[in-house]
Amino acid sequence: MSLRGILIISLGNPGAYRNTYHSAGHVVLEALQHQLGRDQPPFAPSRIGRQPTLASVGPRYALLQSPAVMNVSGPWVAKAYREHLAERGAAPSELGLVLVHDDLEEELGVVKIRDWKRSHRGHNGVKSVNGALQRPGGESRWARVSVGIGRPEGRDKAVVSDFVLSKISGQARGVLQGVGARGVCKALMELEGQWAGE
What is the C-alpha separation between 80 and 50, in angstroms, rounded? 9
Cα angle 27-6-86, degrees, rounded to a multiple of 5: 115
Are 90 and 83 spatial neighbours (Cβ–Cβ below 8 Å)? no
How far from chain centre, in Å, is Cα 88? 20
What is the C-alpha separation between 170 and 180, in angstroms, rounded? 14
Catalytic residue among 22, 84, 101, 123: 22
**Which residues lie below 8 Å from residue 130, measured CB to CB, with a gap of 6+?**
74, 120
Based on DSSP, count helices (H) and strands (E) in the chain, helices before strands: 6, 7
* Closest to 95 in 3D by CA, of 41, 140, 36: 140
Any catalytic annotation for residue 22? yes
The CA–CA distances, whole Å, from 5 to 57, 89, 169, 181 equal 10, 11, 34, 19
Catalytic (active-site) positions? 22
